[in-house]
């Protein structure tokens, strides 16, 4: 496929469980972003990866949240000990290179529901 | 620090009427500005972007936006709304050599037949 792929598309889990969300960026895209979108709200920046540079983790809301990326490929966002306030759509985006004019290409998101 | 303000979380227009979605930005350096559209249960899709080449930018689906530095605005317009334009629209700004993008809170557009 040519687009950003996220899995699973939907995830329902119990409070306290750990969840792992996956993002496959567009091939060749060096930048990768994770966002959280709560119901009826805008996009909240979580973390940004650029090539082999140290990631910008400034948006992660707590130490329960972590993310990894292997080179310029797949990324996983992990939420430990989930809470009900973690319920949201988690969006991943990638962009091709450095440069302020490069738009982001988004996946369709993972809809996470914490019971 | 960069920021974006979208006035009006919900906008309703009649089919065939002018669409105007407002976006004001704050940036310490000349910004790059984007408008994205989000359909239900989908990710965001780029409508258009401002990259300083021209102040009036044309995008997909008949949308356009005008960069006005004096007003720090980048409003999105379309002359004639179509039912398929019903969606949520996000304005975004990026500044500096950094790739971080700041999004507005979004405006939901309703098109009334």
The answer to whether the CB atoms of A91 and B102 lie below 8 A apart is no
Reported as a pLDDT band with limits 50, 70 and 90, residue B74 is: very high
Q: Are B33 and B24 in contact (CB under 8 A)?
A: no
pLDDT at residue number A98: 66
The answer to whether the CB atoms of B101 and A104 lie below 8 A apart is yes
Structural tokens at position B6: 């979208």
Reported as a pLDDT band with limits 50, 70 and 90, residue B3 is: confident
Q: Which residues pair with A90 in a beta bridge?
A: A36, A110
To test the contact with chain B by mutation, choose from A43, A54, A56, A72 the residue with the greatest count of B C-beta atoms within 10 A, namely A43
- Taking alpha carbons only, the member of B101, A65, B102 closest to residue A57 is A65
Q: Which residues 6+ apart lie within 8 Å of A2 measured at CB?
A: A26
pLDDT at residue number B97: 59
pLDDT at residue number A18: 98
Q: What is the pLDDT of residues B18-55, one digit of tens each?
A: 999 999 998 877 788 999 999 988 899 999 999 877 88
Low-confidence ranges of chain A (pLDDT < 70): 1, 98-100
To test the contact with chain B by mutation, choose from A36, A104, A105 the residue with the greatest count of B C-beta atoms within 10 A, namely A104
């Amino acid at each position: 496929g040519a687009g950003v792929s996220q899995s699973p598309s939907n995830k329902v889990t119990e409070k306290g469980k750990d969840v792992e969300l996956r993002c496959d960026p567009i091939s060749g895209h060096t930048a990768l972003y994770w966002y959280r979108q709560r119901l009826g709200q805008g996009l909240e920046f979580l973390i940004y990866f650029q090539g082999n540079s140290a990631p910008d983790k400034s948006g992660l809301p707590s130490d329960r949240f972590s993310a990894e990326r292997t080179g310029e490929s797949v990324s996983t966002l992990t939420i430990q000990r989930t809470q009900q306030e973690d319920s949201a759509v988690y969006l991943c985006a990638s962009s091709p290179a450095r440069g302020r004019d490069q738009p982001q290409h988004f996946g369709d998101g993972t809809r996470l529901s914490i019971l | 620090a960069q920021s974006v303000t979208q006035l009006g979380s919900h906008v309703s227009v009649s089919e065939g009427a002018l669409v105007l979605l407002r976006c004001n930005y704050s940036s310490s350096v000349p910004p790059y500005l984007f408008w994205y559209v989000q359909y239900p249960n989908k990710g965001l899709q780029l409508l258009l972007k401002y990259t300083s080449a021209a102040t009036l930018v044309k995008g997909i689906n008949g949308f356009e936006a005008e960069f006005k530095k004096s007003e720090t605005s980048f409003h999105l317009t379309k002359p004639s709304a179509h039912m398929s334009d019903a969606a949520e629209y996000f304005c975004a700004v990026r500044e500096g050599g950094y790739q971080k993008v700041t999004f507005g809170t979004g405006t939901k557009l309703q098109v009334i037949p």
